Amino acid sequence: MTDFPNSDLLSLAAGLRRRDFSAAELCEAALAEISRREETLRACITVTADAARAAAKAADARLAAGDASPLCGIPFGLKDNICTAGIPTTCASRMLSGYIPPYSATAAERLCAAGAVLCAKCNMDEFSMGSSTENSAFYPTRNPRDPSRTPGGSSGGPAAAVAGGELPFALGSDTGGSIRQPAAFCGLVGMKPTYGTVSRHGLVAFASSLDQIGPLSRTVRDNAAVLAAISGPDGMDATAVRAFSLPEDTFCGDVRGLVIGLPRFAGCEVQPGVAACMDAAADRLSACGAHICEVQMPALTDALPAYYILSSAEASSNLARYDGVRYGLRADGADCYETLYSTTRSAFFGAEVRRRILLGTFSLSAGHREAFYLRAKQAAGRVRAAFHEAFSACDLLLSPTAPTVAFPLGETADPVAMYRGDLFTVPASLAGIPALSLPCGRADGLPVGAQLMAPEGGEGLLYRVAALLEEVCA
């Protein structure tokens, strides 16, 4: 059988169609890699071995009948905030320990309908609040490139599972960079689609106006194949209004004549090795015929504080349901509802979740809403306008995904310092535009991620440029 841990999705799909191996054999190989690597990586929360074997058997029947999608028989993982019927979904929180949803997320259903084989629910920062997967209530996940370092967050578990050879691809969720930053830290391709491209039905909400599901993969082509499978309108989510399909010229390798802007972000120090990789990536695109220019976007200065106010305000509202009565575990010993509420939430929410709920509640409270929440909304509007103006002159924007390479586990105790690492990723989230991270070199022996951003609906263009950059940076 092909070398499973180092094989990309489409190569495995071709092997299945040639009958080089069966979906059942591929499933067993994935489960074996998970078993072998988990003691070090801790990327998974729940391994769905029995269900995976049954799904692989069904995939083999479809393959034998010639009725199969490109993803049929391919093992995959899901971030553990994506609901799965009959399989625990914990959001890496004590609050949802043991919770088993009665339904599956639309994105998960679409993958399973295509014949893909769910093998694991993956670790994450609790309720997606974090940038290192150290905020999981269960255990931190380790970076396969250097186990002493974080894989990023909040989709660190899915990223580590794919980069570590446990699975060919996985789905994460991205609110302010939670797919793109782990992709950068682990040397993967990660896509945050245009808001409304992938249904949020069955995604446990963090900030509903920002959350999007997207794929993590080893190659650009794999990523595009997964996005095509999970995108599209959904009657269960009124915001899901667009579908992605691969244009015929997506991987033509031609970037001649494209204008690629380099936005300047004030107030952020970029590691010299990261800056060098970005300069090299821009030079390579220029050598291939793209026109590179600097873009002034002063509105981006306010993007980070605006994001943390808005996302925390929405989190405060979304997580209010976890009170020990309607949802979540219940603390013992309370003699009234107020005590039950405070005791339950103090006991079962982690420190970072409590911090963001408090920030969000404060921002929405009487006397502060105008000074914080409404000003943040106005700042977000300026960010969207800045991107609209930039894209009137440029086809794409190129920036680092993160200002540093993966940092050591336990190194960043200051939450504000951790938040600053999201400077490059949150603007695209506020604007609702697609953004993709892909490897563009190494610094200090660790992967560096380049972020490409496009106007709404520009995923095809992102994949086109990313595929060329993937080739010239290899």
Tokens 């086809």 — which residue? 395
- Evaluate whether 398 touches 261 at the Cβ level (below 8 Å): yes
What is the CB neighbour count within 10 angstroms for residue 384?
15
Whether the CA torsion 30, 35, 39, 45 is positive or negative: it is: positive
- Evaluate whether 450 touches 180 at the Cβ level (below 8 Å): no
HSE-up of 42 (CA within 13 Å, CB side)?
18
- For residue 378, count CB atoms less than 10 angstroms from its CB and return exposed for 0-12, middle for 13-18, buried for 19 or more: exposed
Q: Which of 69, 131, 173, 178 is catalytic?
A: 178
Is there a catalytic annotation at residue 316? no
| Residue 9 one-letter amino acid | L
Is there a catalytic annotation at residue 154? yes
Q: Dihedral angle at the C-alpha atoms of 242, 244, 245, 247, nearest 10 degrees?
A: 100
- Evaluate whether 205 touches 216 at the Cβ level (below 8 Å): no
Task: Give the ranges where 201-348 is alpha helix by DSSP (H).
Answer: 220-230, 272-287, 303-318, 337-348
- 3-class DSSP state for residue 380? helix
Tokens 């989709």 — which residue? 155
* Spatial distance between the Cα atoms of 361 and 167, rounded to a whole number of angstroms: 39
Residue 322: both structure tokens together: 């976890």
- For residue 3, count CB atoms less than 10 angstroms from its CB and return exposed for 0-12, middle for 13-18, buried for 19 or more: exposed
Of the candidates 34, 33, 30, 26, the one whose C-alpha atom is nearest the C-alpha of residue 60 is: 26
What is the CB neighbour count within 10 angstroms for residue 85?
15
Strand partners of residue 135: none
Tokens 């953004």 — which residue? 435
Of the candidates 188, 260, 106, 173, the one whose C-alpha atom is nearest the C-alpha of residue 437 is: 188
Q: Which of 69, 93, 104, 154 is catalytic?
A: 154
* Spatial distance between the Cα atoms of 451 and 471, rounded to a whole number of angstroms: 16
Task: List strands edge to edge, sheet with 212-217.
Answer: 44-47, 117-122, 75-79, 169-174, 212-217, 189-192, 435-443, 446-453, 396-400, 259-263, 291-295
Q: Which of 7, 79, 128, 437 is catalytic?
A: 79
Is there a catalytic annotation at residue 192? no
* Spatial distance between the Cα atoms of 313 and 192, rounded to a whole number of angstroms: 22
Active site residues: 79, 154, 178
